[in-house]
Every structure is written in structure tokens, then in C-alpha cells.
Amino acid sequence: MIYLDNNATTRVAPEVFNAMQPYLTEIFGNPSSTHTLGRQMKQAIDVAREQVAALIGAADTSEIVFTSCGSESDNWAIRGALSAKPDKKHIVTTQVEHEAVRNLCDLLESEGYEITRLGVSENGELDLNSLRDALRHDTALVSIMLANNETGVLFPMEEIGRIVSEKSDAFFHVDGVQAVGKIPIDLKSTEVDMFALSGHKLHAPQGIGALYLRQGIGLQPLIVGGGQESGRRAGTSAVPNIVGLGAACKLANESDVHERIASLRDKLERQILTTISNTLVNGTSAAGKRLPNTSNISFQYVDGQNILLHLDAAGICVSTGSACHSTTREASPTLKAMNVPYTAAQGSIRFSLGRYNTEAEIDRTLSVLPGIIKKLAEMSPY
Amino acid sequence: MNQESISQHFFAPRNVGDAHEPSFIGRAASLRCGASSRMSLQIGEANNIIEAKFKAAGCNVLVASLSKLTELVQDKTTAEAATIGQDEDLLLNALGGLEPDRFSCTTLARETLLRAVRAYSDAARSEWIGDQALICTCFCVSERTIEETIHDCGLMTVTEVTRACYAGGGCGSCHQLIQEMIDSFGVRRPGAALVSPSEDV
Ligand code: FES
């Protein structure tokens, strides 16, 4: 099987699995316990916290709080920020956020908050002037992702942070889930207040996430109970998963696969664009402005779900830019916000590469794809 | 639930392309589903379907449904094809069953077929040369027959006309004409008030 859907989830790395295994077998205990086993668990968590802090450039390990997933981190950051500024009722976000932020903002709107959703250009890029204009004295929170999950387009987190802190006293939360482990991140040199990440996007297991909380920011917990995570997130620590996340961060930090992934992605993208007609890339092609592993390509006039099923039958996993929800099958909000033409949005496919992809796999994909598109194009009524 | 047939038709769709001339084309699209489809039918002297072909950009169920429909209507008369196009269960069964949330994909396929048959009926009606004007091409019912049926039985709806003389029971392209006939006669049912077109609007 050729797995080109690493933005959806990733395979647990053997290094991660090996690090976790003892904590799923002989080493067990509740890190809150005072006995030896408990202390061992606590030490393991401390190491993991350092590893996470190192990958994202946190100034201090105390800035890392473990959660159950990226969505929990986003929900906590946003809810927590709002309750810390109870008299401010305005939120600035974008039209292209992941559901965890987008749907929460929709909910908050129904709860009485005013939401400004910044649009993007046809390249998927944010207009920073529109951000400047959106900020107000009653803006409680700015929540803007670092990397778009569908197109891989990066938003300039450093610049956004500067603008937010210059123009308002709002919190700045970043959904960094899709970016962590794929590009260098150094939060201490930014104005980011909160930053969400998720383990399963970088070869840790599903069910573990973290929230970076800049020193000095105290958020009301989302989950109330015991005093774990210095009273910030109740619930018995999931030690094996935490150890796994730490190991995954270490792996991403030390690994030299990033350039190889980028060159494979470039090859895949270039070849598709040159060998298959009516194709275009969704998202900017400017260097450094897109995740090096992601390529969202529209095969115009054919159906994306059809392409996906044919690739799947050939043992290749990708995803589409339109999801079938019972009776509707609409283009994703991201592609809509980018004004991608209808027939292009319906035929969009996201290829997202990872550390285990080989050149042979990319070549195989490039060899089966033209035949699939040709067959579907012959069937196209357009 | 047997999905076999859907995937068979999806991965190896039958009858992709355009039917030979003279052909009649039906198109349907759903913005909601992001789907577009067309079916073309080559039809012989005896209202028989010689060739049915389709093209589509839409989900696998739409593709499979169109593929299956082109098989089902092969060698059928246009009236039979129209009946097939109206029968939701027939297509669902032919595809080996389906999750309810995908029914709408099969509906779009049936609509494509029905529109192709209607295109034929409309053309056949206007080209008809007989002593009697032809209204329902699917069941070959003349204007005179329909008129007499409406009068004699005091009919007031298209459904009643269809029940009485088959006219309108196929593709439905004649429904408006039948309705106009009902309206313009201003028929009176025993004991019913006179209905005239002006009051109808
Ligand atoms: S013409 Fe088809 S039903 Fe009358």
C-alpha cells in the first residue's frame, strides 16, 4: 500500500512504538503516586515535555500541557481565552480553519460572540491588511492556523503575532496541528500565546495532543478534576501516549527526512502538472509558503471521489477536497474561500507525503494516475 | 448489503460515450452533489432503444446507476424505458441495494434517463404525421382519444387521464399538453362547477 494521506494521520514510527512499549507492559503506575513506580512515570512525562518543548521552540517546558488531541487543545485555548476576557466579545479567525476551530467559532457565534472570518486569496494566502482592519478594542481572541490541512498553505505566524500584539490586546491562538513536525517552529521568538498540536500527525499514536501556553497565561481548565498537569488539565496522564508524543517530537527534530519528502512532493507535483492536462495546484507555489509535504491538485472536469476510489483500488491512499455528507457533496470551505472553480474543486485530490514514502512509490503513483484520469475524462460530460 | 454490483459498474462502466445519431439527449445536474450527467439514446422506428450511452462526473453511485440504467433500457421501448426511469426500487434492487443516504445519487441517474426519453417524445410528437395529432408518444395516444376520454369521463387531472388511457404514464413530456387540454375544455363533472382556465390561475 502506498500511503499519501499523511495529513489525515500518520503511521506510528517504530522509534515511537519502542519508546512507548515499556509503558504499556512492565512500567506502569499512576504518575500522581508517590511510590517508585509513580515517580518513574512522572520522570517519563518530564522527558516528553522537554522533547515537545524542544520541537516547537518553547521557552520553558512548563509551557507544554498534554491533552487528548488537537481538537481538545483548540477548544481549551479558545474557550479559556474567552473566559479570561469576559467583557470582550469579538473573535478574529479565518474562513479556512480546521473544523475544530471553525465549528467552535460557529457555535460561539450562536452563543453571542461576534466572529470576523478573514478570507484568503486565490492562492490561499491571508491578506494581512484585512487582519489589521479586523482588530478592535473588544477583540478577545485571534485564532489563525499555521498550516492549512488541505492545501498546506502557511500563514505568517510571526507577522500575524506582531500585528495582533501591536493593534490589540487580544490573545493569539495558533492551530499548529498540521505544521508540527513538518517545518521548523520557534515559538519563543513569536508573539503566539497558545499553540495546539496533535501527536498522530507526526507518527505518535492517536489520542494525544498538547497545548503550548505562553508563560504567564493562566487559562481556566476545560476539563476539571484532579490536579494533573499543574492543575491545568485534569485526568490521569496517558503516560504511554505522552511518551510516544515526546519520542515523535524527538524523531521529527533530529531527522533528516524533511528535504527528501520535499523533493518527492515536488517531483510528484511537477510530473502531474506536465503530463496530465487540465490540472492545477490549489495553494501558492511560492517557495516556503506551503508545507513541503502537501500537494492539493485539481483534475478539472473529473470527479475527485472517482479518482480516489480508482487510486485506492491500485493500493494508493489519498483524500479529496470535497466530502460527501449524506445528501450533499460540497467543496471544502477552504477551496470555496479560495474561489476554486466548481469543476476544479470537485476534482481536487490531496496528496500528503510522509517520512516513509519512497521514490518508487511516487513513480508508481505517477504511472497509474494518467490512465485513471484519461478514463474518467472520457466519461466526463463537460 | 451487497455493494458488489455498484463497484463492478463503477470500475467497469458499461456504455460510456455518445449514442449514434440520430440520438436524443437528456442532461441532469445537481449543484448540491457536484454532479453532472448526460444520457443519449438512439431510438428506432418502433420506439425501441437501439443504443443507450452515458457520460458523467459525479460519485461512484451515480456512475454505477447510469451504467446499470443503460443496460436495463437496452432494446426496450421508450415507454418501458420511462417506466424504468420512474421506478426507484427497480434500480436500487438492480444495484444490489444501497444505503438510504445515497438514494439521491440514483435519482439523478433516473432523471437523466427520463429527460432523454422526453427529448425523444417531444421530437417525435412534433414530427408525427398521421390524421390524428399525437400527444403521448410513449403510449401512442392521440389528441382525439385524450379529448374524448376527458369529455366522456369528466376527468380533471393528468393522473386521471393516465389511469383512463395510459397517456402521460411514461416519460411525462406530454403532461403539460394534457393539462392544457383539461384546462381549455373546462370540463364539467356531474354536479361539479365549471372549471375554466381563467379561474385556474
Ligand atoms: S409522451 Fe411520454 S408519457 Fe406521454
Q: What is the pLDDT of residues B76-135, one digit of tens each?
A: 999 999 999 999 999 999 998 888 878 888 999 999 999 999 999 999 888 888 778 899
Nearest to A327 among B11, B16, B32 (CB): B32
If asked whether residues A154 and A297 sit together in one domain, one would say no
A216 occurs within a structural domain: yes
Q: What is the CATH number of the domain that holds A368?
A: 3.90.1150.10
A3 occurs within a structural domain: no
- The domain limits of chain B are 3-122, 134-185
Quote the CA–CA distance of A315 and A304 in Å, as a whole number: 16
Rounded to a whole number of angstroms, the distance from the CA of B60 to the nearest CA of chain A is 6
Q: Tell me whether residues A309 and B60 touch, CB distance under 8 A.
A: yes
Please name the residue of chain A whose CA is at the shortest distance from the CA of residue B60: A306
Please name the residue of chain B whose CA is at the shortest distance from the CA of residue A378: B17
In tens, the pLDDT along A22-37 reads 999 999 988 888 898 8
Q: From the candidates A69, A105, A317, A324, give the one annotated as an active-site residue.
A: A324
With 0-12 / 13-18 / 19 or more C-beta atoms within 10 angstroms meaning exposed / middle / buried, residue A380 is buried
Tell me, in angstroms, the distance from the centre of ligand 1 to residue B93's CA. Answer: 25
Please, are residues B99 and B3 in contact by the beta-carbon 8 Å criterion?
A: no
If asked whether residues A39 and A72 sit together in one domain, one would say yes
Reported ipTM = 0.86
In tens, the pLDDT along B6-29 reads 999 999 999 999 999 889 999 999
Looking at residues B55-59, what average pLDDT do you find? 95
A1 occurs within a structural domain: no
Looking at residues A96-116, what average pLDDT do you find? 96
- Residue A329: domain span: 257-379
Please determine, for residue B2, whether its predicted confidence score (pLDDT) is greater than 70: no
In tens, the pLDDT along A216-257 reads 999 999 999 998 999 999 999 999 999 999 999 999 999 889
If asked whether residues A249 and A262 sit together in one domain, one would say no
If asked whether residues A180 and A273 sit together in one domain, one would say no
Q: Tell me whether residues A379 and B35 touch, CB distance under 8 A.
A: no
Q: What is the CATH number of the domain that holds A33?
A: 3.40.640.10
Domain final residue pick, A230, A254, A278: A254
Quote the CA–CA distance of B105 and B109 in Å, as a whole number: 7
In tens, the pLDDT along A202-213 reads 999 999 999 999
Domain final residue pick, A254, A283, A313: A254
Looking at residues A28-54, what average pLDDT do you find? 93
- 3-state helix vs strand vs coil in chain A, percent to 5: 45, 20, 40
Please determine, for residue A322, whether its predicted confidence score (pLDDT) is greater than 80: no
DSSP string, A98-125: -HHHHHHHHHHHHTT-EEEEE-B-TTS-
A343 touches chain B (CB under 8 A): yes
Q: Tell me whether residues B35 and A329 touch, CB distance under 8 A.
A: yes
Domain final residue pick, A225, A254, A283: A254
Residues of A in contact with B57 (CB under 8 A): 301-303, 306, 343, 346-347, 376, 379-382
DSSP string, B37-55: EEEEEEE-TTSBEEEEEEE
Please, are residues A178 and A143 in contact by the beta-carbon 8 Å criterion?
A: no
Fold of B3-122: Sufe protein. Chain: A (3.90.1010)
- In chain A, how many domains are there? 2
If asked whether residues A341 and A318 sit together in one domain, one would say yes
If asked whether residues A120 and A57 sit together in one domain, one would say yes
Q: Which three cell numbers stand for residue A236?
A: 490521569
Average pLDDT in chain A: 95
If asked whether residues A90 and A235 sit together in one domain, one would say yes
If asked whether residues A313 and A280 sit together in one domain, one would say yes
If asked whether residues A333 and A275 sit together in one domain, one would say yes
Tell me, in angstroms, the distance from the centre of ligand 1 to residue B65's CA. Answer: 23
If asked whether residues A192 and A293 sit together in one domain, one would say no
Residue B34: what pLDDT? Answer: 84
- Tell me the residue length of chain B: 201
In this structure, are strands A328-331 and A322-325 parallel, antiparallel, or unpaired?
Answer: antiparallel
If asked whether residues A228 and A261 sit together in one domain, one would say no
Is A69 one of the annotated active-site residues of the chain?
no
What is the percent of chain A where pLDDT is above 70?
98
In this structure, are strands A348-352 and A319-320 parallel, antiparallel, or unpaired?
Answer: antiparallel
Please determine, for residue B35, whether its predicted confidence score (pLDDT) is greater than 80: yes
Q: Tell me whether residues B32 and A382 touch, CB distance under 8 A.
A: no
Residue B198: what pLDDT? Answer: 40
Q: Tell me whether residues A305 and B59 touch, CB distance under 8 A.
A: yes
pLDDT-wise least confident of A72-86, B126-140, B153-167: B126-140
If asked whether residues A91 and A208 sit together in one domain, one would say yes
Residue A328: what pLDDT? Answer: 62
Q: Is the distance from the beta carbon of residue B168 to the nearest atom of ligand 1 less than 6 Å?
A: yes
Please name the residue of chain B whose CA is at the shortest distance from the CA of residue A326: B101
Q: Which residues contact A323 (CB under 8 A, 6 or more apart)?
A: A329, A330, A332
End-to-end CA distance of chain B: 48
Residue B199: what pLDDT? Answer: 36
Residues of B in contact with A380 (CB under 8 A): 55-57
Tell me, in angstroms, the distance from the centre of ligand 1 to residue B147's CA. Answer: 16
A270 occurs within a structural domain: yes
Please name the residue of chain B whose CA is at the shortest distance from the CA of residue A344: B34
pLDDT-wise least confident of A70-74, A371-375, B197-201: B197-201
Cα A232 → chain centroid: 23
Residue B161: what pLDDT? Answer: 94
Residues of B in contact with A374 (CB under 8 A): none
Rounded to a whole number of angstroms, the distance from the CA of B159 to the nearest CA of chain A is 30
Residue B88: what pLDDT? Answer: 92
Specify the residue for cell string 369521463.
Answer: B153
Q: At what angle do helices B103-127 and B78-86 cross, to 10 degrees?
A: 150
CATH class of the domain at B134-185: mainly alpha
Please determine, for residue A18, whether its predicted confidence score (pLDDT) is greater than 60: yes
Please determine, for residue B173, whether its predicted confidence score (pLDDT) is greater than 70: yes
Residues of A in contact with B17 (CB under 8 A): 378
A329 touches chain B (CB under 8 A): yes
A7 occurs within a structural domain: no
In tens, the pLDDT along A144-190 reads 999 999 999 999 999 999 999 999 999 999 999 999 999 999 999 99
